[in-house]
A and B are shown apart, each in its own frame.
Chain A
Amino acid sequence: MRNKANHLRRNLADAIATSAAALAVIVVLVPLAAIFIYLVIKGIGSLNWAFLTHTPAPVGEQGGGMANAIAGSFMILGLASLIGVPLGIGAGVYVAEYGRSWLSKYIRFTADVLNGVPSIVIGIAVYGLVVMRQGHFSALAGGVALGIMMIPTICRTTEEILLMVPRSVREAAYGLGIPQWRCTVSVTLRTAISGVITGIMLAFARVAGETAPLLFTAFGNQFWNWNPNQPTAALPLQIFTYAISPFEEWHQQAWAGALVLVALIVGTVTLVRVVTRRGMFRGA
């Protein structure tokens, strides 16, 4: 009899735990889905070919688009990745593979602090370090600001993922007479690559929507600009400008811009995943 009661209690506990977990999933997914659906409803009306191919219309005129801001965002994010990815991975590899020294403690601490620095503070710092010195705003300055923001995320995820690669895999490489640097690059990093890429994508997605650090670095631009050394438009900046404007049509365009921004982030992340997964074996 006792056994049966126990059995019942266990089944009940199992059912409760399972439904609690399912409920948590729903609670997480609902706001996410709500934001996305709301964005589509608000933004889809103003989204057309002209929006994706034209520069903003002068004040008072109808139409126009955010093509220059889309291109500008890609340029700034490209520059940011050029700075953030190698430095972040480099620091993460150092801390995980070579870091038994005092230096790695400082790197970890610095990364955590940097992660907590408000993005506008990073914007001001880059304004002082790059914009003031150059004497003008530029995509480069924007890239530096976003790149700095990418470093701590990439550094810490790279470290965590590398530490998850079992010691036996490294031993196998050392046992073959492979030098440590070669083992790190061709064996450890290669084993952990999908996790490292996840870290990069996380950092990328996070900074892609940043507005504050761009306000006084990339500054924004109403026209096409392909020169990284000139003020450049970016989607979040354009959305910000349009959203606080007094014009209803600009509000609509801000919604469309937000939708495009989210779509571009999702698109880029998906593309990178597909490309890097091809020709690679899934880790076992």
Chain B
Amino acid sequence: MGVGIDVRGLRAWFGKFEALHDISMHIRPNCATAIIGPSGCGKSTFIRCLNRMHETVPDAGVSGQVLVGQRDIYGNGSSAVEVRRRIGMVFQKPNPFPTMSIYDNVAAGLKLNGVRNRRLVDEAVERSLRSSALWDEVKDVLKKKSGASLSGGQQQRLCIARALAVEPEVLLMDEPASALDPISTSKIEELIFSLKEHYTVVIVTHNMQQAARVADYTGFFLLGSLIEYDETKKIFTTPGDKRTEDYITGRFG
């Protein structure tokens, strides 16, 4: 089951540049939450702070609290590696491991973390590929074809399966459909719909229609600050802030 995320006073830096200013928001469990905003507003940085990917960038810094379930992922004794196992991530550009088969790509998170039981891995691979709606297309070539030989849309669903295989509690998606054609995009969107039954989904998108279609809640970021955060319907019909209204009506961004 998914868990909620409580973000309290989150700030993030690249060197001396503060990219996020004092963000606080509560992300509800088993919901899809969209993060929208113009380019460079910090939405990717924000989502990368939720599974401690931000700190893999040289000179990056973070302060504040991010409680996933009850635990602060930046607290004492919390390890970044452990956090990332519980919080899966799908990136903007599909990034399957190029030299691995489809099977090995999905199994990577388990195998490389020391799961040796073949039957367990087999089951996880099938289950994950089924939940990412890729199973029927690849079930006959699992070990024969390289992950990189799939089409862009299939690669992205492979990456989703890979993230699901380690059974995370939260799934973060950083513009997962921005490099895909409309048909692949609609498949990913359907997928997000079914995924939130089991996971908490946070999706960054610069496509407002997409946010409106898939998300229960939407947060609007501007210049590193969270301007408004509410139910998606409310954000898109009666936004409380002038800047939100300007953005969703296309007056800037």
* Chain A contact residues, CB within 8 Å of chain B: 100, 166, 168-169, 171-179, 182-183, 186-187, 190-191, 193, 280-284
Contacts and interface: CB of A to CB of B under 8 A. Distances in A.
Contacts of A193: 99
20 contacts: A171-B56, A171-B91, A172-B162, A173-B112, A175-B88, A176-B84, A176-B88, A176-B108, A176-B162, A176-B163, A177-B84, A177-B85, A177-B113, A177-B166, A178-B81, A178-B108, A182-B112, A187-B97, A190-B100, A283-B98
B146 interface: yes
Interface residues of B, number: 32
B101 interface: yes
Interface of B: 51, 53, 56, 58, 81-86, 88-89, 91, 93, 95-101, 108-109, 112-113, 146, 148-149, 159, 162-163, 166
Given A176-B163, A179-B81, A186 B99 contact: no
A83 to B, nearest CB: 27
Contacts, number: 87
For A100, A186, A193, the residue with the greatest tally of chain B CB atoms inside 10 Å of its CB is: A186
Contact of B97 (A177, A179, A182, A191): A191
Given A172-B91, A281-B100, A283-B98, A177 B109 contact: yes
A189 to B, nearest CB: 10
A242 B140 CA distance: 61
| Across the A-B interface, the 4 shortest Cβ-Cβ residue pairs | A177-B85, A284-B148, A176-B109, A281-B146
Given A171-B53, A174-B53, A178-B108, A284 B98 contact: yes
B108 A282 contact: no
Given A168-B93, A176-B163, A186-B112, A282 B82 contact: no
A174 B56 contact: yes
B89 A175 contact: yes
